[in-house]
Amino acid sequence: MTKALSLVFLQALVVCPIANMDKIKINEIFHSIQGETSYTGQRTVFVRTSGCHLRCNYCDTTYAYYEGNKKTIDEIIDRVNSYQVEYVCVSGGEPLLQKGTYKLMKELCDLGYKVSLETSGDIDCKDVDLRVKKIIDIKTPDSGEADTFNLNNLEYRDNFTEYKFVICSEKDFLWAEDFVDKHKLLEKNNVLYSPSYGKISERWLAEQIVEKKSKVRLQLQLHKYIWPSAERGV
């Protein structure tokens, strides 16, 4: 999808009537183990929304670009309740493309769930409920979506916000180190570096962090080491 078509897709979601109703286009809802962030290892229900306007070249959920069915917020919450968990991760696709996602996260928090949001970082997070843990992905140069990060999202961070960089190359590593330092991310937040799966080795990234005396955290996608890397619903 070209940048122009991506923008059309985003605009269509924003003006579509469903964006202002109590329905969200959902790709999948599943019960698994959290494989990323500081919540790694916790039993989790994942609510994966459908639709994304970005095309990162390392994306492992391309099936979520379009696949999905509309569900009411009550239907989603009933499904979440059935798993009897404490933690819900709202992911995508890009969850913030759909207005109903904001209401869903608020209602989940009202019910006492710990809620995290995985977002691409280019959509303003100002309307996200303050109880939600924001996991904001800052796109590196070799992601294919460089320069899409919305700098406003540095203003809305709190002590729970985490910033994620998927590292595809040495250039990405150096760029991320400069970005982290320039914006003083480590003064307040966890910063996570993930190796782009299958593109660079985990050992290489670990050695870079050690050699450069970086204060970031190495993050691996735990679920890809437990189940086949392309398996869905895990």
- Contact present, 77 and 110 (Cβ < 8 Å): no
The yes-or-no verdict on residue 169 having pLDDT over 70 is: yes
Assign domain 3-226 to its CATH architecture. Alpha-Beta Barrel (3.20)
Cα distance between residue 187 and residue 216, in whole Å: 11
HSE-CB of 115 using CA atoms within 13 angstroms? 25
Express each pLDDT in 185-227 by its tens digit: 999 999 999 999 888 999 999 999 999 999 999 999 887 788 7
pLDDT given at position 176:
98
Cα distance between residue 138 and residue 185, in whole Å: 12
**Domain limits of the chain?**
3-226
pTM: 0.87
Cα distance between residue 126 and residue 136, in whole Å: 13
Express each pLDDT in 19-75 by its tens digit: 445 899 999 999 999 999 999 999 999 999 999 999 999 998 999 999 999 999 999
Mean pLDDT, all residues of the chain: 90
Cα distance between residue 84 and residue 95, in whole Å: 23
Given strand 69-72, what is the order of strands in its sheet?
Answer: 69-72, 23-33, 43-49, 87-91, 114-119, 133-137, 162-167, 190-195, 217-218
- Contact present, 131 and 104 (Cβ < 8 Å): no
Tokens 């070249």 sit on residue: 57
Cα distance between residue 98 and residue 25, in whole Å: 8
pLDDT given at position 14:
43
Cα distance between residue 57 and residue 168, in whole Å: 10
Helix, strand, coil distribution of the chain in percent, nearest 5: 35, 20, 45
Express each pLDDT in 88-132 by its tens digit: 999 999 999 999 999 999 999 999 999 999 999 999 999 999 999
